[in-house]
Structure 1
Amino acid sequence: MKKQAKPIGLTKDAGWQFGLRKTFPYSQKHLWDFMFSDQGLKVWLGELEEELDVKKEFSTKEGITGKVSVFTPYSHIRMSWKKNNWENNSTVQVRIIGDSFKATISFHHEKLLDNSQREEMNVYWNEKITEIEKALMT
């Protein structure tokens, strides 16, 4: 009997997940500084109601809420993340990987409810990476 293939994005332990990476011709430091500037945060996270801080809850004017669990400068941030119309909390990790010549922005979103939520995040993060690219060019 043939084993059924596991659907793309379904993990053994963390439910459904989605990941997206894009490499830019900017240094790791430049990308990090942009992503965590007021302008950068507004692009990928939303307009914050309060400052991001480890172990503190945050909310955005766009209806995203969460709590930062890990913040390692010039490396990554990990946080709980919930849209205002969701019943579940998920986890988002953003990494900046690279050197002084080029670097990659990586979004990893896990603990999604189902494939439908995964597809929603596929569209969402692809839109965000396009907005980041446009903002970096200005």
Structure 2
Amino acid sequence: MTNPRIDNGYSEHQARKPVGQTSSVGFQVGVRRTLPLSQEQAWRLLTSPEGLSWWLGGLSALQLEPGQRFFSKEGTSGELRIVKPLEQLRLSWQRAGWEQASTLQIRLLAAAGGRTTISFHQEKLKDANVREQMKLYWEEVLARLTEKAEAK
């Protein structure tokens, strides 16, 4: 009979969840980058027509108010839930072809030297493959934001 108090590491390894999986929100991903912009400048860039197109897709218009729904030309849809100017956006976010919406939270955090960290956190993703796709997607969005910020 084996002693349940003795663990050779095998059972612990088997019980581990894949990277990014939680018991409460399924798969999640978070990426962040600090930009050489004030929070005001970062907010303006993120919510400008050009900035919105990078993370939402082509929109005819979007009012930044809770309850506003959006549908991009690329098929991304969702609804704004929380809008705190200069600080936070929380919304449902669903790509065309997805069975269910994810939750996306974007935060702007003050950083040293007058800079701002922009954080994208997405949860309720279908699986590890979608998690990896979205990690690459948000890294690309941050790369575009950084490129634009550094050109100023």
TM-score (norm 1): 0.92
Q: Which runs of 4+ in 1 moved over 3 A?
A: none
Identity of aligned residues (%): 36
User: 106, 122, 125: which is aligned to 1:112?
Assistant: 125
SS of the residue 1:92 aligns to:
strand
TM-score by length of 2: 0.84
SS in 1 for 2:114: coil
C-alpha displacement at 1:49, in angstroms?
A: 2.9
Displacement of 1:34:
1.1
Provide structure 2 residue ranges, at least 5 long, that are not aligned to the other structure: 1-6
The offset of 1:11, in angstroms, is 1.0
Verify the 8 A CA contact 1:9 1:17 in the aligned structure 2: yes
Name the counterpart of 1:93.
105
Secondary structure at 1:50 match in 2: coil
SS in structure 2 opposite 1:98?
Answer: strand
SS, match of residue 32 in structure 1: helix
Corresponding residue for residue 75 of structure 1: 87
Task: Indicate conservation of the 8 Å contact 2:36/2:150, yes or no.
Answer: no
Alignment length, in residue pairs?
Answer: 138
Structure number with greater Rg is: 2
Contact kept in structure 2, 1:49 and 1:58, CA below 8 Å = no
1:19 to 30, 34, 38: 30
Kindly state the Cα deviation for residue 40 of structure 1 after the two structures are TM-superposed.
1.4
CA distance in 2, matches of 1:28, 1:126: 19
1:102 alignment counterpart = 115
What one-letter code is carried by the residue in structure 2 that aligns with 1:35? L
Residue 3 of structure 2 corresponds to none
Higher helix share: 2
- Worse-superposed segment, 11-20 or 36-45: 36-45
1:129 is matched by which residue type in structure 2? L
Q: Any stretches of 5+ residues in structure 1 without a counterpart?
A: none
**Structure 2 counterpart SS, 1:18:** strand
**Structure 2 CA distance, aligned partners of 1:91 and 1:83?**
12
State the shift of 1:95 in Å. 0.6
> Residue deviations 1:19-60, cap 9 Å, x none?
000011211111011111112112222221332331121111
Map Cα deviations across residues 106-130 of structure 1 (whole Å, 9 max, x no partner). 0000000111110110111111111
Deviation at 1:133, TM superposition (A): 1.5
Alignment root-mean-square deviation, CA: 1.5
Cα offsets for 1:61-87 (capped at 9, x unmatched): 121100001001111000000001211
